[in-house]
């Protein structure tokens, strides 16, 4: 992504997170980013395309992070710890991305369905780890589908709350605060 496209993209994400997709107009995106409207349309045909790029980029970042961390971990517990830490880091580093996904994931419109697919994809990764843990005896049997959404929601909401309360909080501090609670309920 070149410099101009990245500036447009970052500005749009910030405005989508602050104002909501519908309230962030093309004119405001160009004004805040300092880019001419023609330049914006050169890089993105529509505001929806910016949104789609946001979702695709964010989901690929998560998927790549999971794949890298899973390669070096054997146990389900270690993989689950990696998932939780990755999710916290995403919230800390890319708070606006998570805010946009979650705030747009409710409803039946096309944008909501796209956001739901991102959340579903992340939760499917968590569910796979939980199922592996149950199958190899690390975790006690449970509803892995429900628990995967619970873990995602808890990580997102508590990490977001913590960084809003304490801007200096690190990913590891947030992780240490509640990984034992998550694992405590799962262990066989």
d(CA 179, CA 182): 5
121 token code pair: 């994809």
> Does CATH number 1.10.357.10 belong to domain 51-186?
yes
d(CA 118, CA 110): 13
- Calculate the dihedral angle through the C-alpha atoms of 116, 179, 61, 158, rounding to the nearest 10 degrees: 50
Per-position DSSP letters for 13-80, written without gaps between them: HHHHHHH-TTT--HHHHHHHHT--HHHHHHH-SSHHHHHHHHHHHHHHHHHHHHHHHHHT--SHHHHH
pLDDT on residue 37: 92
pLDDT in tens, 123-161: 999 999 999 999 999 999 999 999 999 999 988 888 888
d(CA 118, CA 185): 26
pLDDT on residue 146: 95
3-state SS assignment for residue 101: helix
Query: CA–CA distance from 60 to each of 121, 123, 149, 182 (Å)?
Result: 10, 14, 19, 25
- Calculate the dihedral angle through the C-alpha atoms of 83, 89, 94, 100, rounding to the nearest 10 degrees: 40
Record the pTM.
0.84
pLDDT on residue 123: 95
3-state SS assignment for residue 168: coil
**Domain spans of the chain?**
1-45, 51-186
d(CA 28, CA 61): 27
CATH level 3 topology of 1-45:
Arc Repressor Mutant, subunit A (1.10.10)
d(CA 130, CA 145): 9
All residue ranges of the chain with pLDDT < 70 are 188
pLDDT on residue 188: 63
Contact 49, 102 (CB under 8 A): no
Query: CA–CA distance from 27 to each of 31, 40, 73 (Å)?
Result: 6, 10, 47
């Amino acid at each position: 992504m070149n410099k101009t496209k990245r500036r447009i993209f970052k500005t749009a994400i910030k405005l989508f997170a602050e104002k909501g997709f519908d309230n962030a107009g093309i004119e405001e995106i160009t004004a805040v980013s300092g880019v001419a409207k023609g330049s914006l349309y050169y890089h993105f045909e529509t505001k929806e395309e910016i949104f789609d790029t946001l979702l695709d980029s964010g989901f690929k970042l998560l998927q790549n992070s999971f794949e890298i961390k899973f390669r070096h971990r054997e146990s389900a517990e270690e993989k689950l710890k990696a998932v939780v830490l990755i999710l916290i880091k995403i919230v800390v580093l890319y708070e606006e991305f998570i805010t946009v996904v979650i705030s747009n994931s409710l409803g039946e419109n096309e944008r909501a369905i796209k956001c739901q697919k991102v959340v579903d994809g992340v939760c499917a990764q968590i569910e796979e780890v939980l199922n592996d843990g149950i199958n190899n005896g690390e975790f006690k049997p449970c509803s892995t589908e429900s628990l995967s959404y619970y873990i995602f929601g808890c990580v997102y909401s508590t990490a977001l709350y913590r960084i809003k309360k304490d801007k200096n909080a690190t990913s590891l501090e947030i992780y240490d605060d509640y990984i034992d609670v998550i694992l405590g309920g799962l262990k066989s």
